[in-house]
Structure 1
Amino acid sequence: MEYRELKELWEKEERNTSEGWDFSYLENRCEEEELPWDYKDILKTYLKPDFKLLDMGTGGGEFLLSLKHPFSNTAVTEKWEPNLKLCEKTLTPLGIEVKQVFDDSELPFKDEAFDMIINRHESFDINEVKRLLKPNGIFISQQVGGRNNEKLSKILIKDFKPLFSKNTLDNNLKEIEKDLFEVLYAREAFPYLRFKDIGALVYFARKIEWEFPNFSVEDCFEELCKLHEEVKIKGYVESIEHRFIMVCRKKDL
């Protein structure tokens, strides 16, 4: 296939307007290394049926429902309007409390309202988490680290500067321990993410715009062509992700 045809193909991927964070469109076009921990298994180690549970940034609530926690003991927050409407449609009728949030430091719940707060890939203010947790309450968060896809971003984006470079496990633990939490478990990982065709990479880069600022097929065409040659040789282009997880207990003073 000539580069002119490839460019047309990649620009079609660039124009894809599918919404949300469902990457099933890329199924069989990329391969992600498994993390050395299982977020759901870790949650279930600590979660008890009588716990008041808050899921921060629940998305559409699909993962939350898989936990099968009693609905009357469950609350969620969500910022993004389309997800909020979905939660109000699917979770509210079940008796799950749904709240929209705009500021991590001002969550609409009373002091010490929860036994456990969970957070996967959502921002948070540790002082607000501390306010909402009961004494000995549990906070579990899996985060996307500041070095996520940095290698690939530097290849595609000239003079790339990561926006969240300080978002590492060590830096988060320093803040958490300073704020009177006991760290029960913490781990960091750098799994690979492999794209089997450049069109998949184009779609991904347009979605994750904060990691690939000002990305376009037109501006990055030369770099994309070089990566295309790499796919022809190796069968994939590799990026390195950054993930970490923390399990913490609020100290009972």
Structure 2
Amino acid sequence: MPTFEDLVTEGAAVPTEGWDFSWFDGRATEQRPSWGYSTLMAGRMAAARAALDVQTGGGEVLASIPVAPPVLAATESWAPNLAIARRTLAGVGATVVHVGDHDDLPFPTDHFDLVVSRHPVTTRWDEVRRVLRPGGTYLAQHVGAGSVRELTDFMMGPRPVDPGRSAPSIAAGAEAAGLEVVDLRQEALRMEFHDVGAVVHFLHKVIWIVPDFTVAAYRDRLVELHRFVERHGPFVAHSQRVLVEAREVG
């Protein structure tokens, strides 16, 4: 049976580039939202003339669309993901551009009839509205307030929840920019971590859960988590997801 040291070493050695979570198979699970973002997004893409995926990661979700619009672009801020996204999205003909998460979008005004994003770090609502054509749509799945807070609190102690990630705050941001929110849904989704190695890799990959995480800095808490899993079974947390669809009404 793997020891604590074995599991931690293994989890720390897994590459973090891209947005592929297949390594977690058999080691961690997460429920998926009932609305099926990938299917919704693919349907909108099939009907679009020009579309943009903001903060595409490694491009894995966008690459799954069966029908691409004639004009397709994506942005990504993290350099290691850029090369992955460009390879991944070559098959759907997408142009991938390096853009910081807080930067202006380097596209003309009224350029896209669809802007999508899955788990954006931040959303420049003013820029989303600017690049959307009149009648265009923003469709995104956001990370909601307090996502995976059980793990954050276990590692760091109780922390305040950022209200800016709540569904009402997301809707307010869109509306303040002049967009009309036509759909807003939120769900809490069960997550299970079956070993401490999965937690280590997750915290290296999803860096905002414990922002200053290193194995050395949090070794004592990782030991406690390992003991908890040995005694009680999987460590359970809940991700928070918000679906938002908004329209540019001109």
**What's the TM-score bracket when you normalise by the shorter of the two chains?**
0.7 to 0.9
**SS of the residue 1:58 aligns to:** coil
Aligned equivalent of 2:246, options 239, 245, 248: 248
Q: Which amino acid aligns with 2:229?
A: V
- 2:146 corresponds in structure 1 to 147
Q: What displacement does 1:65 show?
A: 2.6
User: Separation in 1 of the partners of 2:73 and 2:13?
Assistant: 34
Aligned equivalent of 1:62, options 57, 60, 63: 60
**SS of the residue 1:166 aligns to:** helix
Post-superposition Cα deviations, 1:18-63, rounded to whole Å, max 9, x if no partner, equal: 1313322221111112212110232245444452111112223332
Q: What displacement does 1:214 show?
A: 3.3
Moved more, 232-241 or 129-138: 232-241
Percent identity of equivalent pairs = 29
- Any gaps of 5 or more consecutive residues in structure 2? none
The total of aligned residue pairs comes to 248
Q: What displacement does 1:145 show?
A: 1.9
Say whether the 8 Å CA contact 2:51–2:69 is kept in structure 1: no
Moved more, 76-85 or 114-123: 76-85
- 1:156 corresponds in structure 2 to 155
Post-superposition Cα deviations, 1:207-233, rounded to whole Å, max 9, x if no partner, equal: 333221333444444433443343234
The within-5 A match list for 1:97-176 is 97-102=95-100, 104-122=102-120, 123-158=122-157, 160=159, 164-176=162-174
Q: Which amino acid aligns with 1:168?
A: S
User: Separation in 1 of the partners of 2:198 and 2:85?
Assistant: 29
Normalised by the length of structure 1, the TM-score is 0.85
CA spacing shift, 1:13–1:94, aligned 2, 3 Å: closer
- 2:198 corresponds in structure 1 to 200
Q: What displacement does 1:161 show?
A: 5.2
Say whether the 8 Å CA contact 2:163–2:169 is kept in structure 1: no
Q: What displacement does 1:90 show?
A: 5.1
Q: Which amino acid aligns with 2:175?
A: E
Q: What displacement does 1:124 show?
A: 1.9
Moved more, 40-49 or 79-88: 40-49
Pair 1:13-2:15 in alignment: no
Moved more, 65-74 or 5-14: 5-14
Pick the structure with greater CA Rg: 1
Say whether the 8 Å CA contact 2:46–2:68 is kept in structure 1: no
Q: What displacement does 1:132 show?
A: 0.4
- Any gaps of 5 or more consecutive residues in structure 1? none
Q: Which amino acid aligns with 2:137?
A: I
- Backbone CA RMSD of aligned residues: 2.6
Say whether the 8 Å CA contact 2:14–2:201 is kept in structure 1: no
Say whether the 8 Å CA contact 2:63–2:92 is kept in structure 1: no
**SS of the residue 1:115 aligns to:** strand
**SS of the residue 1:174 aligns to:** helix
User: Separation in 2 of the partners of 1:80 and 1:28?
Assistant: 28
